[in-house]
């Protein structure tokens, strides 16, 4: 155990009226200049204030200090960080700059705030002399001062310290209580802010920093910062929250400073406490960035180097440009791996993070992954993922997809379910329920021109000849493959339009590096040759199920046949230039295309295979309304997933944006781990809150299993110390904070502060969790 004493000496000479009960009467008039010293004991949050008059002999004070704290003198170290004096007390108690004759005459008081009194709080014989001790009760509102007696044993209840006891001997007068239990006034829907501030105000080290001399770190040159204004007003607010006297604080000044930095928080609308937190920490970081001139550092070549080295290099570059208390405490590092769905190129990067945003199982929304196919032959198939109301209709899905692909006014989407290489259902009826589509289904959306809506919808299915195994070994067998392609053709008079449309659809699949590249130009001629009737076998033998008979042959190009929707031949082989007999009322024409080996080489058909399923559940074993563990949410967060349509990745190999699959891993963990539970889902149509109950550990969150590299198990465990809660629905609702303070939990509900039982703190209102690393 060690003590760190911080002195803060407000530049504007804080005049504290409330000097404790015994002095209160005179002090109100006298404006005594006080110096405040805060002693903090790491690991615990108990606190009290000790006030020392500088009229007293400092040596004696020092001795008394360590007697009070029940520690050996060498363990006590009081430092002054104000810059006005150094070594206020040294270990041997010999240097006392304030003991000078001139200053001693002043009515200066020392104020010691002591945080964390493990032994002291329990059974230590507490001797207090000339010290005025103050405490504040958890009742938040009513407080009273509690002066101590000279050299007397303060009545020391055996199990709990009188200093921490909530009993006050001077009820109704002044204020009482443990420090740090001050509420924040609601200025009008500002509970989102109050909730987040209380969590930060009880973050160890972060608090120490702001109560200390943080001003030396202010970066006045940073154009991204606020000239230190945000940091100053935040520090000021924290001091008020931790000052004795504990009337609820109105964070007006802070709010108006914040509004200058982040104008979205102007006015008195409800906001998201997590969003506020992220902005505030970013703003504080910019204000307090010790790096005045960010160096530009070129990352070395990462190819073939040990991944640990690369990660460290990324981290060092981050630290060279960002150095603040925010980075020290809150920043961790991810490894993020992107895989191009087309060329399978892998890209690994290491990015810093400030909090983890974990997904929750949705009971009302679902994400659907759909394969998008262009019908103008311009781009390769790609998959995209959209969020839709779980009990929505087909029109919701089509609407969401249209938005995601920025569909033009002259385009429509034809969405269909594909099974066994055929379209088995089209989602034409906008009022059909989405519940008809299962997670394991495969959906395809075809982007079609609108103006030709009056024409024919031609569905192409593909078949190829495969060698069979078993007793029919060596005999060719025709079978369907790939995803059907669709084109809209204004009028079909003969086979040429069908052929041309198909060639156009295949355009993006062309293998440019194939040997027969030269043939591409005259492929039409070849087809003409073949299509003009040189191959005149029986059309009916082209069934996908029947093996070829004695008149077996392999086409040298494509063969087109009218079929049914399952690719079963309907008997009509299409020939170029020959009139096509399409029934009058037909709007959809199914065409089965037989591929020659040559064509299979010419085109890369892998783009048409392996369609993604609609949804691969993150939480396969969690049913709606059940609780989900925080670890499951972590798994969901780190699970490999396709990027959303709004954050496509530019693949340097394919030279285009694609919906790459992304896999995150934790690489480096911060001292303070902020975990955001994504309760709010925003889609274009619906804003929704997930009420899932998340079962999160209080005493030990062990992240060892989620780290992508071994950093030693001891640094991966966390203890919960604060929660930002959200009650009610989106937009409205109410935020509170739960904070672990002095060996118990308190609820900070705007101005009111009440103790809560530990068994009551885990609720489905938990929104942002604050964990601190267990260091011992």
CB 638 within 8 A of CB 706: yes
Which positions are annotated as active-site residues?
191, 734
Residue carrying structure tokens 């929250």: 241
CB of 306 to Zn ion, least distance (A): 25
Given candidates 340, 576, 664, 739, which one binds Zn ion under the rule CB under 5 A?
A: 340
* Cα three-residue angle 372-375-380, rounded to 5 degrees: 55
Task: Write phi, then psi, for 547 (nearest 5 degrees).
Answer: -75, 160
Distance from C-alpha of 18 to C-alpha of 288, rounded to nearest angstrom: 32
The candidate with the shortest Cα–Cα distance to 200, out of 647, 768, 695, 697, is 768
Please report how close the Cβ of residue 7 comes to Zn ion at its closest, in angstroms. Answer: 59
- In the block, tokens 């570059």 appear at 317
Q: Which is nearer to Zn ion, 585 or 655 (CB)?
A: 655
Stretch that binds Zn ion, among 345-353, 677-685, 735-743, 756-764 (CB under 5 A): 345-353
Q: Which is nearer to Zn ion, 166 or 648 (CB)?
A: 648
Between the two ends of the chain, the Cα-to-Cα distance in Å is 11
Does position 342 interact with Zn ion (CB under 5 A)? The reply is yes
The three-state DSSP-derived secondary structure of 25-68 is HHHHHHCCEEEEEEEEECCCCCEEEEEEECCCCHHHHHHHHHHH
CB 550 within 8 A of CB 544: no
Closest CB to Zn ion among residues 385, 659: 659
Find the part of the chain contacting Zn ion (CB under 5 A) among 264-272, 338-346, 570-578, 726-734: 338-346
Supply the minimum distance, in Å, between the C-beta of residue 339 and Zn ion: 9
Strand order in the sheet with 332-339: 346-353, 332-339, 661-668, 641-642
CA distance 143 to 164: 13
* Count of residues of this chain found to bind Zn ion when the rule CB under 5 A is applied: 7
Which lies closer to Zn ion via its Cβ, residue 112 or residue 651?
A: 651
Kindly report the backbone phi and psi dihedral angles of residue 529, in degrees, each rounded to the nearest multiple of 5, phi listed first.
Answer: -60, -50
Tokens matching residue 153: 């044993």
Three-class secondary structure of residue 134 per DSSP: strand
Q: How far is the CB of 716 from Zn ion (least distance, A)?
A: 35
8 Å CB contact between 176 and 145 = yes
Tell me if 320 sits within 8 A of 297, measured CB to CB: yes
What is the maximal distance between C-alpha atoms in the chain?
Answer: 120
Q: Shortest CA distance to 414 belongs to which of 435, 428, 400? A: 428
Q: 490 in helix, strand or coil?
A: coil
Which of 348, 365 has the CB closer to Zn ion?
348
User: Which element (helix H / strand E) includes 752?
Assistant: strand 752-756
| Closer to Zn ion by Cβ: residue 517 or 650 | 650
Sign of the torsion formed by the C-alpha atoms of 610, 614, 619 and 621: negative
Instruction: Using the Cα atoms of residue 112, residue 117, residue 122 and residue 124 in order, give the sign of their dihedral.
Output: negative
* Residue 293 vs 655, nearer CB to Zn ion: 655
Among 55, 297, 343, 436, binds Zn ion (CB under 5 A): 343
Q: What does the alpha-carbon distance between residue 682 and residue 680 come to, in Å, rounded to a whole number?
A: 6
Contact predicate 609/481, CB 8 Å: yes
702 token code pair:
């062990």
Question: Minimum distance between the CB of residue 442 and Zn ion, rounded to whole angstroms?
Answer: 22
**Angle (CA) 566 570 574, round 5°:** 110
Contact between 551 and 537 under an 8 Å Cβ cutoff? The reply is yes
Instruction: Please check whether residue 643 is in contact with residue 662, taking contact to mean a CB–CB distance below 8 angstroms.
Output: yes
Q: How far is the CB of 259 from Zn ion (least distance, A)?
A: 44
Query: What is d(CA 459, CA 422) in angstroms, rounded to the nearest whole number?
Result: 9
- Given the complex with Zn ion, which of 345 and 657 has the nearer CB atom? 345
Shortest Cβ distance from residue 654 to Zn ion (Å)? Answer: 3
Q: Closest distance between Zn ion and the C-beta of residue 391, in Å?
A: 37
For residue 609, the minimal CB distance to Zn ion (Å) is: 17
| Contact stretch for Zn ion (CB under 5 A) within 78-86, 344-352, 515-523, 705-713 | 344-352
Q: How far is the CB of 347 from Zn ion (least distance, A)?
A: 10
Give, as ranges, the residues between 630 and 659 that touch Zn ion (CB under 5 A): 651, 653-654
Under rule CB under 5 A, residue 660 binds Zn ion: no
**For the window 542-561, what string marks contact with Zn ion as x by the rule CB under 5 A?**
--------------------
* Residue 445 CB burial class (10 angstroms; 0-12, 13-18, ≥19): buried
Convert 404-465 into a string of H (helix), E (strand) and C (coil).
HCCCCCCEEEEEEEEECCEEEEECCCCCCEHHHCCCCCCEEEEEEECCCCCCEEEEEEEEEE
Q: Which is nearer to Zn ion, 200 or 340 (CB)?
A: 340
Interface mask (CB under 5 A) for Zn ion, residues 594-633, using x and -? ----------------------------------------
Tell the smallest beta-carbon distance from residue 648 to Zn ion (Å): 12
Closer residue to Zn ion in complex, CB, 207/342: 342
Reading the block at residue 604, the tokens are 């890369």
Residue 108 binds Zn ion (CB under 5 A):
no
What phi and psi, each to the nearest 5 degrees, are found at residue 396?
-65, -40
How far apart are CB 723 and Zn ion at their closest, in Å?
42
Nearer to Zn ion, 338 or 774 (CB): 338
Q: 382, 651 in Cβ contact below 8 A?
A: no
Closest to Zn ion by CB, 152 or 652? 652
Residues that bind Zn ion (CB under 5 A): 340, 342-343, 345, 651, 653-654
């Amino acid at each position: 155990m060690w003590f760190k004493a911080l002195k803060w000496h407000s530049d504007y000479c804080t005049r504290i009226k409330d000097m404790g009960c015994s002095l209160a009467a005179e002090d109100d008039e006298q404006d005594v200049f006080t110096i405040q010293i805060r002693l903090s004991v790491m690991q615990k949050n108990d606190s009290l204030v000790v006030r020392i008059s500088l009229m007293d002999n400092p040596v004696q004070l020092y001795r008394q200090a360590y007697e009070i704290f029940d520690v050996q003198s060498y363990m006590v170290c009081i430092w002054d960080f104000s810059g006005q004096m150094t070594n206020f007390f040294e270990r041997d108690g010999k240097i006392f700059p304030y003991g000078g004759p001139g200053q001693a005459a002043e009515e200066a008081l020392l104020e010691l705030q002591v945080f964390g009194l493990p032994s002291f709080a329990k059974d230590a014989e507490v001797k207090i002399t000339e010290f005025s001790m103050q405490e504040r009760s958890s009742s938040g509102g009513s407080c009273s001062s509690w002066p101590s007696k000279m050299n007397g044993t303060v009545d020391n209840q055996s199990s709990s310290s009188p200093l921490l006891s909530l009993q006050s001997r001077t009820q109704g007068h002044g204020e009482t209580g443990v420090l740090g239990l001050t509420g924040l006034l609601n200025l009008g829907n500002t509970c989102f802010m109050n909730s987040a501030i209380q969590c930060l105000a009880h973050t160890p080290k972060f608090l120490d920093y702001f109560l200390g001399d943080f001003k030396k770190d202010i970066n006045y040159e940073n154009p991204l910062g606020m000239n230190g204004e945000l940091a100053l007003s935040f520090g000021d607010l924290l001091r008020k929250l931790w000052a004795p006297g504990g009337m609820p604080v109105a964070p007006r000044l802070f709010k108006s400073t914040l509004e200058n930095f982040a104008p979205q928080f102007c006015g008195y609308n409800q906001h998201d406490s997590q969003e506020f937190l992220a902005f505030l920490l970013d703003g504080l970081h910019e204000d307090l960035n010790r790096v005045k001139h960010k160096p530009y550092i070129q990352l070395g070549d990462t190819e073939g180097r040990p991944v640990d080295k690369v990660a460290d290099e990324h981290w060092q570059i981050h630290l060279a440009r960002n150095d603040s208390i925010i980075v020290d405490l809150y920043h961790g590092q991810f490894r993020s791996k992107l895989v191009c769905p087309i060329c399978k190129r892998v890209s690994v990067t290491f990015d810093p993070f400030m909090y983890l945003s974990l997904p929750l199982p949705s009971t009302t929304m679902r994400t659907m992954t759909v394969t998008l196919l262009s019908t103008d032959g311009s781009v390769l198939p790609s998959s995209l993922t959209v969020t839709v109301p779980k009990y929505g209709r087909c029109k919701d899905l089509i609407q969401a997809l249209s938005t995601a692909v920025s569909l033009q006014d002259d385009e429509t989407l034809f969405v269909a379910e594909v099974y066994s290489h055929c379209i088995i259902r089209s989602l034409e009826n906008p009022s059909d329920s989405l519940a008809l589509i299962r997670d394991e289904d495969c959906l395809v959306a075809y982007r079609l021109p609108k103006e030709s809506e009056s024409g024919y919808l031609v569905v192409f299915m593909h078949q190829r000849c495969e060698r069979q195994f078993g007793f029919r070994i060596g005999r060719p067998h025709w079978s369907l493959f790939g995803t059907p392609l669709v084109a809209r053709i204004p009028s079909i008079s003969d086979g040429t339009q069908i052929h041309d449309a198909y060639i156009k659809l295949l355009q993006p699949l062309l293998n440019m590096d194939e040997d027969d590249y030269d043939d591409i130009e005259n492929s039409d001629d070849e087809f003409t040759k073949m299509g003009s009737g040189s191959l005149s076998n029986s059309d009916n033998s082209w069934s996908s199920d029947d093996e070829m008979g004695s008149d077996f042959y392999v086409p040298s190009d494509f063969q087109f046949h009218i079929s049914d929707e399952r690719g079963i031949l309907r008997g009509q082989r299409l020939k170029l230039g020959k009139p096509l007999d399409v029934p009058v009322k037909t709007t959809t024409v199914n065409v089965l295309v037989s591929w020659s080996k040559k064509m299979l080489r010419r085109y890369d058909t892998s783009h048409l295979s392996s369609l993604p399923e609609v949804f691969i559940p993150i939480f396969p074993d969690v049913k709606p309304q059940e609780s989900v563990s925080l670890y499951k949410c972590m798994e969901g967060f780190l699970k490999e997933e396709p990027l959303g349509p709004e954050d496509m990745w530019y693949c340097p190999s394919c030279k285009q944006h694609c919906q790459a699959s992304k896999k995150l891993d934790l690489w480096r963990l911060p001292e303070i781990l902020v975990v955001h539970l994504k309760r709010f889902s925003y889609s274009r149509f619906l804003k929704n809150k997930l009420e899932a109950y998340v079962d999160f550990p209080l005493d030990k969150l062990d992240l060892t299993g989620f780290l992508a590299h071994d950093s030693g198990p001891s640094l991966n465990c966390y203890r919960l110390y604060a929660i930002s809660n959200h009650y009610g629905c989106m937009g409205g609702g109410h935020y509170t904070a739960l904070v672990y303070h002095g060996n118990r939990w308190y609820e900070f509900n705007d101005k009111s502060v009440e103790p809560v039982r530990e068994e009551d703190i885990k609720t489905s209102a938990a929104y942002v969790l604050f964990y601190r690393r267990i260091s011992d």
